[in-house]
Amino acid sequence: MEPREDGGGPTGASRIERLLEAAGTALEEGRPEDALARAEEAAAADPRSSAALHYRAAALEELGRTEDARLAYARALSVGKDDPELLLGAARFLVEGLPDGAQDHADLDEGLALARRGAKLAARAGDGELEIALRLVEARALAAGGHAREALAAVAQAERAAPGDPEVLLEKGLALYELCRFEEAETALLAAEAAAPDDPQIVHALGLVAERRGEDDEARRRFARARALAPEDFPPPVRLAAAEFEAAVEAALAALPEPVREYLANVAISVEDLPAVADLQGGDPPLSPGSLGLFRGAPWGQKSSMDPWSHFPSSIVLYQRNLERFARSKEELVEEIRITLVHEVGHFLGLDEEELYQRGLD
């Protein structure tokens, strides 16, 4: 009698195990096509295998098939909602793995929920390493959503379990940087660098801190080293002469509808290199040092005694160095100048972040 190959008995189970092992090896070795083929074989043999469905989703993600991967992770989660490894993979995909322009607030919210659920399950199972990984994804989701204090709290949970881990220290330093606690950020990042001296993200983050501390030579050295270590992740910033940058701002302003330009008649629009200390400390939480622009003042038709800027004339400022660092090309920079100006005009008109998002102005 021939051995069974349908997953319905011991031989079928061992066949699925071999397929899963082959899929995992193929992913580790950078062969996502092979991983996808093996994962699909395993899923065909056992449609309820969360591991097979997880490998299939991960392979699609590696192949850049974003929407297929999104659907595959959803399918995997429908049968493996209590699998912390799967929860980690899906959370990372939503928080860190989506290409530019493909991520929205709902993705971050879902990724955050998955990471938190996975961390609790990993903690119950006593898997400290997996819990730390999930806490870091939780922190990144919170940071990406503008919640640096909550991100720092998530990092603190990971740090208790792995106090010297460079990845944990990096996330701690980045959260402290976003909160404008630059000396503390530098301390955390230097500790991270001591453990992982060639990590380009750590080196770049130390450059950001040096820039905020006015140490321009050190910042340039750090940025150059990060670029040498990871040129794809840290390309040279796009530079525009002051006159060319201001011309792009004027063009963006001219493209606004005439009624909006009329509202802006008494609003000063200026360009500065980086947010000043007064900008950073003007609210609670503080303004992110990486902000691309800022509206100062009370929204049109409003004054607030609680707003420190409301007694000054309304103004919009764009931060040239941050915008140049954000863009990958001159065309992208010009477009980002337009988007940032429109975003700050939205604040002037009284729209909050959620309303800006709903109108496509975030």
Would you say the CATH fold of 242-358 matches that of 163-236? no
Identify the helix (H) or strand (E) that includes residue 244: helix 242-254
How far is the C-alpha of 231 from the C-alpha of 206, rounded, in Å?
17
Calculate what percentage of the chain has a pLDDT beyond 90.
Answer: 75
Question: Do 289 and 280 form a contact (C-beta atoms < 8 A)?
Answer: yes
Higher pLDDT, 4 or 265: 265
pLDDT band, residue 343 (cuts 50/70/90): confident
How far is the C-alpha of 80 from the C-alpha of 67, rounded, in Å?
20
Segment 127-136, tens digit of pLDDT: 999 999 999 9
Question: Do 131 and 119 form a contact (C-beta atoms < 8 A)?
Answer: yes
pTM: 0.86
How far is the C-alpha of 234 from the C-alpha of 325, rounded, in Å?
9
Segment 186-198, tens digit of pLDDT: 999 999 999 999 9
Name the DSSP letter for residue 103. Answer: -
How far is the C-alpha of 195 from the C-alpha of 148, rounded, in Å?
24
* Mean pLDDT, residues 104-131 taken together: 96
Q: Is 283 helix (H, G, I), strand (E, B) or coil?
A: coil
pLDDT band, residue 297 (cuts 50/70/90): confident
* Mean pLDDT, residues 268-285 taken together: 90
First CA to last CA across the chain, in angstroms? 65
pLDDT at 2 over 50: no
pLDDT at 87 over 50: yes
Determine the pLDDT at residue 42: 96
* Mean pLDDT, residues 74-90 taken together: 97
Rounded to 10°, the helix 50-62/32-45 angle is 150
Question: Do 340 and 318 form a contact (C-beta atoms < 8 A)?
Answer: yes
Name the DSSP letter for residue 265. Answer: G
The separation between CA 136 and the C-alpha centre of its own chain, rounded to angstroms, equals 12
pLDDT at 355 over 60: no
Domain 242-358: give its CATH code.
3.30.2010.20
pLDDT at 310 over 70: no
Among 183, 188, 215, 184, CA closest to 202: 188
Segment 327-337, tens digit of pLDDT: 999 999 999 99
Determine the pLDDT at residue 7: 45
pLDDT at 220 over 90: yes
Segment 140-177, tens digit of pLDDT: 999 999 999 999 999 999 999 999 999 999 999 999 99
Query: Which CATH class, in words, describes the domain spanning 163-236?
Result: mainly alpha
**Domain range list for the chain:** 163-236, 242-358
β-strands 315-319, 293-296 pairing: antiparallel
Cβ-proximal residues to 97 (8 Å cutoff; 6+ apart), any chain: 61, 69
